[in-house]
Chains A and B, each alone.
Chain A
Amino acid sequence: MKIADRVLSVRHALVVLASTALCATALAQQPQQQPQQPAQRIAPPSSVNIPPMPQLSAAELAADRLDFRQIVQQAKAKVFPAVIYIKCVREDNQGGERKSAEVTGSGVIVTPEGQALTNWHVIDKAESVRVLLSDGRGFKAKILGSDKDTDLALIQIETTADTGSLPYASLGDSSKLTEGDFVMAMGAPFGLNRSVSIGIVSSIDRYLEEISEYSLWIQTDAAINPGNSGGPLVSTAGEVIGINARGMGAAPGMAFAIPSETVKVIAGQLKEFGKVNWSWTGLQLQPLRDFNRDIYFEGTDGVIVAETDPESPARQAGIQPRDRILKVNGKPLTGLTTESLPAVRRELGLLAKREPATLDIVRDGKPMSVQITPREKGDVEGKELALKRWDLTVKVINQFDNPDLYFHKQKGVFVFATKYPGNASTAGLRSLDIITRIDGKDVETLADVEAAHKAALANLDSKPRIVFTVLRSGLSRQVVVDMQRDYSKE
């Protein structure tokens, strides 16, 4: 009874958490792609900037008020035609089999040539993308580039000779926003395209743990619902000052958009390289002041090294936990609070690859200088593969996406999902099992697993049962997958 209690309690806890977790706002028929977003108790930032109040005369104030409806209408008119409704068919391996699922989201055209911004999570793994303009024209689109860390994507609307001109909106300057500014969210909540909602900026520099790697968020109380993902957050000046990305399931009135200043940094790279080619140093960072945890380090400049990733440039450079980095290549770095960390990471992420950079650090009160050679960060998520007869999907271990699996095996393939009912789940394979051997052969890559599946299918009659060896919580286990049953047979 006691243990059962515990399981229930923890499960209950997880359910509660899941429901309050930040959820990506793409409207998907399948469960949300974002696997685990943290429930974050959001506390006030420890540094508060109070902008000077605009000094308006009574007459100006009155005019401002009288104009408001007009301002909103004008602003809307500038951006609304450029808002697009996006429907994608995407590959989905979450059910333990490869399935195509339709996802809907929003976007905004930002160039006259038909380049549109949306979220990474709207078009991730898309096999085809269709867009609908607010004037009723529909097009196909292709993906120019996407970045998981900032949740941004750039797509190209595929026009034809007789398309005519396309409406587009211009990007504003999100750094000029202050809390309390009116903003509008546009898009297709729950697939209801051509929707506008209005609210104010609740916070201009929201830090959300685990999903603020390189960028802070604009928090707004404008209604943002599933389907709004990728749509613009529009200022009263009629400029796109953010891309709406996340809502908070249980808390309407708290939604998050990617600031246009981040968009500007990323979009160029997406256009040029198809991805953001971050540099990787392997530095885990802590701010100087952490109000939440009541931890304060000495000094007001620099940033604290929390830990270095195994086999990372930082570790190779001999950087120690608790070193305070003051400058990189002579440029000051300041991670005063958690809110300032994304900018620091961005700075480090934009260092030249395979070229030594100089870090000025303080260790035990002594200033010193260290050379670090960043590498390409590479993929931040492993590729997936469905193995039909095993009713199993597998994924490549990625150190950023699956650090706990990476801890046990740096190069390998793990069970992404098992189909239920299915041969793998019947055999007792579980998601997050690292597959080390199949039928006596070591496996390390998707190709290995695919070859093993193929071989197993070829020998189905003579050898219908295959032994898998997996690593689960660091311990090896064997399971026997019986392939005789074909769960896809109708």
Chain B
Amino acid sequence: MNAFRSLASPLVLVLASTCAFGLQAGATKADPKADAKADSKSEAAKLTAPDIAAIADKLAPGLVRVEYTPQFDSKGEAPPSDRYSFSRARPGSDIPGLDATENWDGLIKEERPGESGGYLISPTTVFTADPRLHPRFIKSIVVRRGDATATAKPKAYLRDHSGWFLELDKPLAGATPLQFDPLKSGPFFSLVYTESGGQWFAAIAGQESTVVVTDDHRKLVQSTPGSLIVTRTGEPVTITPGRSRTADDAWKLAPDAMPALSEADMTKALAALEQSTKDSLLRVQLNFRSPRSGSEMGGGRRGRFGYDGGEDGPALTEWNGLGVVTGDKTVLVLADLKPKVTGRLERVRVFKADGTPVTATFSGSLKDWGAMLVTAESSVGTPVNLSTKSITDHRDVLLLKAELSIRGETRTAYFSRERIEAFSKRYRGDLYPIASTGQTGGDEGGRSVIFDLDGTLVSLPMSRREKVTTRERWGEEGLLQVPAAILQSALTDRAKSIDTENRPLTEAEENRLAWLGVEMQAMDPELARAQNIVEPTRNGEVGGIVTFVYESSPASQAGIKVGDVLLRLHIEGQPKPLDVNVDENPMGNMMDQFWAMIDRVPEEYLDRLPKPWGNVENTLARALTDVGFGTPFTADLLRDGKTMTVDFKVAQGPAHYDSAARFKSADAVGLSVRDLTYEVRRYFQVKPEEPGVIIAKVERGSRAAVAGLKPYEIIRSINDQPIKNVQDFEEALKQGGELRLAVKRMTQGRTVKLKVDAADGKPADKGSGKSEPGAGVLQDNNAPAPATSAP
């Protein structure tokens, strides 16, 4: 198929009388008519350039220009332009005369129409290429021949090829319709009426230049889309709207005999689609639990430039978008959410055609595609019919398109015609349509779903999901038009298609992370050179020097040592090895002086002090978490310059500062504390058996603030009772009275007295009276990773 496509590129030879004639050796042998064609060739060769030019003169009265004047729609929206996709299929690019570098938007600014060559086939009917622009963007269509003009409107659409018929409001003065006779025999010439550099001309070329025989036994002759086929004497035979025609005579049809859909039928079909999609393409709202403050910066690099709140941003709290009803209660929600975001998913509501919300439950995230399946409590609409045809059967055929955009509560839908002109071979070798809207089928929140004329879903735009995402996110592909068959198999074979790791989590689990149990320093070119490991580290671009190994961690169990250089991880099921890149603490040397400055930081800034020990959540931990606990992987590492490999399984790390059990006291006391987690213990050199909880926040103006308590100080005991965790702390506060807190930071210590009323001892949680969610109850993060359903 690929080969075919490349051969079928338009070929325009201006008055080429000799060079492009005849059949190419390899292809001709397969053609049963090779001998006859050979004769034609010699006959055609006798024609001189002036002879051929005479053909154009003869046909000239039937050649017209069609001028499309685009406009912004009533909402001020610009016609689709190409700014966001770089595929070949640009809107209007196959309209002869409309420069491929132009777009409709540009034409409006330049106050000129898009132009296309056309053929007059009756006094008031013109055949031309179909610009496939939604009618709301077309201000007027004018057909011109010389100074004579007529206003035109759509009449009918070719079913099998790109091309449409326009109806003129009056005959064009001085024009003569072309008279087609499909029975004429060859040799044939093809004529294309087009413009270049302001010059309109008819380009005439010999026919049958290339014959293609596909592996599925189709025999095709390449042609220029929208070309007029004429005999050597200039008598029109037919128009070939597509890029190829069959090698036999089946193509010889007069234009008015070609299968076409009338404008009235098109209107009906679009109306029917609009009606049916009201029940099948629905608005879905997802609501997420609020992320914890501080944890949104966990991504290290991500989120630093303000992407936090966007779709898939780590701090997303509400998502509104398109859901495709695929079963009575099953809806495919086109939300491409990272596991960290899905983890906070709290509520799913599908809005029926009449706006009634139906609550739905999460059923699974698709592994390969940016979408999730939800199950509604009750029937929400009518499932779409998925096309069972091969996607290639839809090539060039007249199709319909529903463009949906959902912004907040508003669902906007436009319906128009569509054609799939080409395919690209992409993920796992499957073919994905390239539609006129471009390969992506959507931008700026809009999505174009493609249907056939019967309203059966042909393809659906979804983003391709790569499981292991690293900092090179910008390199990711956008949306792909996913054929119905691929979607069907994803819906059917859920064991294969669902990613069990990308699912809603409890608040306690929300910040769980995989760990290796090492701290690392980023490799750099100088270090790579100094250690003579330039090659394995790709000149210091990849790799992390192990600077610390946590006890009883996967790394320590695997014998990883300080000084080893981790290079990359080969994760089972992931095609791309994951390079080890270390996120450097963006705070830089601010943290070196943390304790020297903390007493001088004004109270209002204390809340915003970053953790002096940095983030546990980094690109690597995030990627391993997303892969799923239990997944085997092999790490490439360098020890003393020698390459080694070590086998691991992704293991869930123990609680870290952002996932630690926490307790927040009543506001008057104003203390939030968390358990001491492994990285905090390392930073403060607190042994595992030593008690302590760490102060996470001190409310301004509270008793704790007055008493001089500061964030990141450690409370070791209260009234001489060791405080081993937040539960102990909560219990101690319940005692009430004047509490003596033994407080420590680095080498300094002091006793702090806090008066706590019995009522203050209660945690500050609105309503429930219990610890803040996720607190109080000590989560067991050391528990074995939850069982994952084996793929």
Contact = CB atoms under 8 A, between A and B. Distances in A.
Given A2-B306, A10-B605, A294-B707, A404 B596 contact: yes
Contact of B683 (A10, A14, A310, A474): A474
A432 B529 contact: no
A353 B707 CA distance: 36
Given A7-B587, A473-B613, A13 B602 contact: yes
Interface string A190-204: 000000000000000
A473 B595 CA distance: 11
A63 interface: no
A432 B747 contact: no
Contact of A38 (B303, B599, B610, B683): B599
Contacts of B306: 1-2
B610 to A, nearest CB: 7
B753 interface: yes
Contact of A2 (B308, B531, B593): B308
A173 interface: no
Contact of A465 (B529, B602, B747): B529
Interface stretch (A51-59, A146-154, A256-264, A301-309): A301-309
A293 interface: yes
B592 interface: yes
B592 A430 contact: yes
Given A1-B305, A307-B750, A321-B751, A472 B703 contact: no
B749 interface: yes
B596 to A, nearest CB: 6
A407 B609 contact: no
A233 to B, nearest CB: 27
Interface in A274-328: 284, 286, 292-297, 304, 306-307, 309-310, 321-322
A379 B594 CA distance: 24
A294 B682 contact: no
B605 A294 contact: no
A7 B297 CA distance: 13
Contact of A306 (B519, B590, B749): B749
Interface string A443-480: 00000000000000000000001010000111111111
Contacts of B753: 294-297
A296 B527 CA distance: 55
A465 B534 CA distance: 15
B746 A407 contact: yes
A184 B591 CA distance: 43
Contacts of B600: 13-14, 17, 21, 36, 38-39
| Max chain B Cβ within 10 angstroms of own Cβ: one of A295, A309, A322, A427 | A295
A473 B592 contact: yes
A479 B528 CA distance: 11
Contact of A310 (B303, B602, B747): B747
Contacts, number: 148
Contacts of A17: 597, 600-602
A467 B562 CA distance: 16
A403 interface: yes
A406 interface: yes
Contacts of B748: 284, 306-307, 403
Contacts of B527: 467, 478-480
Contacts of A475: 519, 521, 547-548
Given A10-B609, A476-B548, A480-B530, A295 B707 contact: yes
A208 B527 CA distance: 46
Contacts of B751: 286, 295, 297, 304, 306, 321-322
Interface in B290-333: 296-297, 303-306, 308
B708 interface: yes
Interface residues of B, number: 60
A128 interface: no
A294 B548 contact: no
Contacts of A432: 589, 592-593
Contacts of B601: 10, 13-14, 17
B744 interface: yes
Interface in A1-32: 1-4, 6-7, 9-11, 13-14, 16-17, 21
Given A6-B610, A284-B748, A310-B747, A478 B521 contact: yes
A357 to B, nearest CB: 22
B666 interface: no
A292 B421 CA distance: 78
Contact of B547 (A14, A406, A477): A477
B592 A472 contact: yes
A6 B608 contact: yes
Contacts of A407: 685, 746-747
Contacts of B708: 292-293
A431 interface: yes
B304 A2 contact: yes
B526 A465 contact: yes
A14 B749 CA distance: 24
A294 B597 CA distance: 23
11 contacts: A2-B308, A7-B587, A16-B602, A294-B753, A295-B707, A295-B751, A321-B750, A322-B742, A476-B547, A477-B521, A480-B524
Given A17-B600, A407-B685, A472-B592, 17 more contacts: A2-B304, A2-B306, A3-B297, A7-B590, A36-B600, A286-B750, A293-B707, A297-B751, A307-B749, A321-B742, A403-B747, A404-B747, A467-B530, A473-B614, A478-B530, A479-B526, A479-B527
Give 6 nearest A-B pairs by CB, closest first: A307-B749, A480-B526, A306-B750, A1-B306, A293-B708, A432-B592
